[in-house]
Amino acid sequence: MNKGGVGLGGEAAGGCGPTAAAAAAAAQKQKALLPRVDTDIGNLVDNFGFLVNVARLMIHPYEIPKKSFMMEMCAARMARDITSRFISAKAYKIPHDTSS
């Protein structure tokens, strides 16, 4: 029953130190970002499917401006979601220590 890590350097047995702290911080970031990533990817897939459906040829001429507007709005939402994913990916990156 070695609770204090006696004989093992203290940090090695307890799992506390700079590496363990960085791993714990990365795991916490991942838990926070994964639900956001899932919802944004779902939104991207839904918006892309919507764009494909709207892009089909319409018979009625009055529907073309309406569909064009809907496609522009959907494309704007997709661009916003992609920007959000980029920001999340940048936030998830772990800084590397180049001093060693």
Query: Rounded to 5 degrees, what are φ and ψ at 57?
Result: -65, 130
DSSP 8-class letter at 85: H
Side-chain half-sphere exposure of 67, counting CA atoms within 13 A: 15
9: confidence class by pLDDT, cuts 50, 70, 90: very low
User: Is the model's pLDDT at 83 over the cut of 80?
Assistant: yes
**What per-residue confidence (pLDDT) applies to 8?**
46
